[in-house]
A and B are shown apart, each in its own frame.
Chain A
Amino acid sequence: MAEVEEYVGAESVATTDEREVPAGGGSRGGEDRARHTFHPLIELTLIRLREFLREKEAVFWVFVFPVLLALALGVAFRNTAPEKIRVAVESTTNSPVAEQIVRALSVSGEIEASVLEPAEAARRLGGGSVSLVVRTRSAMPATENSIADASSASLAPANQARVFAPEVEYRYDATRPESRIARLAVDDALQRAQGRAEVARTRDERVTEPGGRYIDFLIPGLIGLNLMGSGMWGLGFNIVTARGRKLLKRFAATPMRRSHYLLSFMMSRLVFLALEVVAVLGFAWLVFGVAVRGSLISVAVIVLLGALTFSGIGLLVAARPTTIEGVSGLMNFVMLPMWMLSGTFFSSARFPEFAQPFIKALPLTAINDSLRAVINEGAPLASNWAALAVLLAWCVVSFVIALRIFRWQ
């Protein structure tokens, strides 16, 4: 301090008056910032917004892509009629038996059967375009019935006239749910055709409730995915680019508060956040009738916390790399597990029990689960406290670490 005072004392006395020359430097006067610019945080945020809006590709990926994805998936999985069960009936020649089986299967209207060569049938079964193959075993001696596995049915002659071959075999992959359903439906149809009598009277009542469709499941997941993508890329890409171009170093050479620089990313994220969530939710509502059953405020709180969390993780990922390649690798390392595990496109409950605690601790799972609870089930915010706590923890921890290890050059 003493040095400072001594120096300035000597210097300012000596030179203040000579420094009136307009073009020159050294004049410590000049006008207040307020006359020329806004607060630095606002100016930085404006720069962020302009940089983003002038980057056409970024605008596409943040606003247009999620809507297109929702449209494509919504159309692909739309609930018109229940999907038919596709099966193949094997036949080497155009045998009347195969035709009879096809006719018997078509009665209920739930099954779409086609007669195919054995090789073609096997190929389609492998490729999943049919769920089950029906093989007639008319040539088989009756004594072998007992050897055949549980999936072959013996069609014993009954009082009714025999309609077709006495024996069929079902070929399918028992680990595929749609194949197991096909096995039940096909067997039921064939047994009925052979005259099996119903012992109990049952009745179907079909419901198609909005909120339970695939598109309803998908939309909250897409919002979560978008929050992750734009948070991570928005910070990661921009910060690492600025570091690579030595712009961070240049800012570090100004009296800019470093927190302002980082906060400007948060601010611009919040501006776009609103737009991006409204775009997806509004589109889903208009086109598919996806309704938000819970409160919009709850949605806003989750989305806000989610955006901050992924900004924090994006900041952490961008804290040190100097090249885009470096940060891309890190980013994929962080995002890929969440793409797969966090239940965006299908429920994460499908993963084994032992993996569930890990999956629940992922920030994207927390966003997806809590958004689904609010949007699809109308759950109050408080019932999602566990997911919100997970988000908050990720948010705080990643920010604290990121600010500690952040490199300005």
Chain B
Amino acid sequence: METISDTTYAPSVSPPAVRPRATALRCDGLVKRYGDLVAVDKLDLEVFAGECFGLLGPNGAGKTTTVEILEGLTAPDGGRVEVLGAAWGTAHDRTLRERIGVQLQETQLSEKITVAETVRLFRSFYPRGRGVDEILRLVSLEEKRAARVGKLSGGQKQRLAVACALVSNPELLFLDEPTTGLDPQARLQLWDIVEKFRAGGGTILLTTHYMEEAARLCDRVAIMDHGRMIALGTPDELIASLGADQIIALNATGELDERRLTNLPGVRGVRRTGSESAYALTVSDIGVALPALLAELKTEQVILNTLTTHQATLEDVFVSLTGRMLRDG
């Protein structure tokens, strides 16, 4: 298969010695300010070819600003960006744009235009890529091909937006909160599209504030807060970094001593969550910690209202790093 890159930039030197993974996307010391607000604060990021990389963080963490800088839509105030080995702002910007696919968070496509017409328009911007029918099949919108965009559901609109990003067979796909506001079924359909793209060898940079999305789709996740990266790793690594694999959340009537709770066997940490007698305990061994906790409640003569346990998630990682919930913004 002949590729554009082969003909445009023939390898001029022998391939470098073994590289574990090629870099698809990199930024160093990225800075973006809006007036006094520092939206992106000296961010370093590296995304390897063929991986799905997640930028996780609450609203206003700087995810969208970062992504739009990487997409070449916003100029950074400082730092270096390298996309598929090239920098933005050169004579080769158009060639670079042919190799990436972009879905923006807020784009609303023209409502009077049909699905097929929209895909066809975007397809016409790229010298090479897929056919309109093939793209529509890929995002399961064949039946809607003659429907106007204004008549589509939220999930269908979002799949159309992703279709427009896929028309060129991009090497690198940017998805900015692709499933925000979608119902669970629509979310699953979108995840399916992303997973297929990833399985075909494509690289993805995805932003989200849904932990389950990041945990399911992403090979590696960077957690962002206030324009900085506060954690980086695979979802499993990040959860493991809590040193706990279970969370016990309880709500009681009466006072509990946080220090005594922390010293219970199997408990790694204790945090009050919101109201006065609600606690979250991170525990490494629930079999040991739970009986000890119940015994403690009995000794303190505290009445237990609710108690739940769950597997630790990326949400818990975020909370333990920032003291806030992801969705609090």
Contacts and interface: CB of A to CB of B under 8 A. Distances in A.
Q: Do A and B come from one complex?
A: yes
A28 interface: yes
Contacts of B94: 255, 257
A13 interface: yes
Contacts, number: 214
Contacts of A246: 104, 106-108
B310 interface: no
A405 interface: no
B104 A9 contact: no
A33 to B, nearest CB: 5
Interface in B165-213: 166, 168-171, 173, 196-203
Given A21-B200, A30-B128, A36 B120 contact: yes
A55 B111 CA distance: 11
Given A4-B85, A26-B171, A21 B125 contact: no
Contacts of B8: 8
Interface stretch (A44-52, A92-100, A313-321): A44-52
B152 interface: no
Interface stretch (B28-36, B130-138, B259-267): B130-138
Chain A interface residue number, banded: 35 or more
B200 A5 contact: no
B3 A29 contact: yes
Given A10-B19, A11-B22, A15-B50, A24 B196 contact: yes
B105 to A, nearest CB: 8
B112 interface: yes
Interface string B1-36: 111111011111101100100110000000000000
B11 A13 contact: yes
A33 B122 CA distance: 11
Nearest to A54: B112
Given A5-B12, A7-B85, A246-B107, A43 B129 contact: no
Contacts of A250: 102, 104, 107, 109, 164
B216 interface: no
Contacts of B110: 47, 51, 242, 247
Given A7-B86, A37-B123, A47-B121, A23 B132 contact: no
B15 to A, nearest CB: 5
B49 A15 contact: yes
Nearest to A40: B124
B113 A51 contact: yes
A161 interface: no
B82 interface: yes
A256 B168 CA distance: 12
B197 A25 contact: yes
Nearest to B92: A4
A47 B125 CA distance: 13
A188 to B, nearest CB: 64
B146 to A, nearest CB: 13
A382 to B, nearest CB: 42
A8 B3 CA distance: 11
A27 B73 contact: no
Given A27-B169, A51-B112, A38 B85 contact: no
Interface string B85-103: 1110000101101111110
B86 A33 contact: no
A43 B85 CA distance: 31
A38 B82 CA distance: 33
A254 interface: yes
Contacts of B2: 29
A6 B100 CA distance: 19
A13 B122 CA distance: 29
B285 to A, nearest CB: 42
A32 interface: yes
Contacts of A21: 199-201
Contacts of B1: 16, 19-20, 27-29
B169 A30 contact: yes
Nearest to A248: B107
Contacts of B16: 6, 10
A264 to B, nearest CB: 10
A246 B168 CA distance: 21
Contacts of A18: 201
A23 B120 contact: no
Given A21-B199, A29-B1, A30-B168, A249 B107 contact: yes
Given A4-B92, A19-B201, A253-B97, A9 B15 contact: yes
A9 to B, nearest CB: 3
A253 B201 CA distance: 22
A31 interface: yes
A20 B200 CA distance: 7
B88 to A, nearest CB: 11
A33 B98 CA distance: 12
A325 to B, nearest CB: 18
Contacts of A36: 120, 123-124, 131-132
Interface in A79-129: none
Given A33-B127, A54-B112, A25 B202 contact: yes
Contacts of B129: 30-31, 33
B117 interface: yes
Interface in A242-284: 242, 245-247, 249-257
B71 interface: yes
Contact of A15 (B95, B99, B132, B201): B201
A328 interface: no
A384 interface: no
B166 A37 contact: no
A255 B126 contact: yes
B86 A9 contact: no
A323 to B, nearest CB: 14
Nearest to A2: B12
B9 A9 contact: yes
A35 interface: yes
A25 B166 contact: yes
Contact of B138 (A9, A23, A249, A254): A23
Given A38-B124, A50-B113, A255-B97, A5 B9 contact: yes
27 contacts: A6-B16, A7-B84, A10-B22, A12-B5, A15-B22, A24-B197, A24-B201, A25-B197, A25-B203, A26-B170, A29-B169, A30-B130, A33-B129, A36-B123, A36-B132, A47-B113, A50-B113, A50-B117, A51-B112, A245-B108, A245-B109, A246-B106, A249-B104, A253-B72, A253-B73, A253-B102, A255-B97
Given A30-B168, A250-B107, A254-B125, 5 more contacts: A26-B201, A26-B203, A28-B1, A46-B117, A250-B102
Q: Which 3 A-B pairs have the closest CB atoms?
A: A24-B200, A7-B85, A25-B202
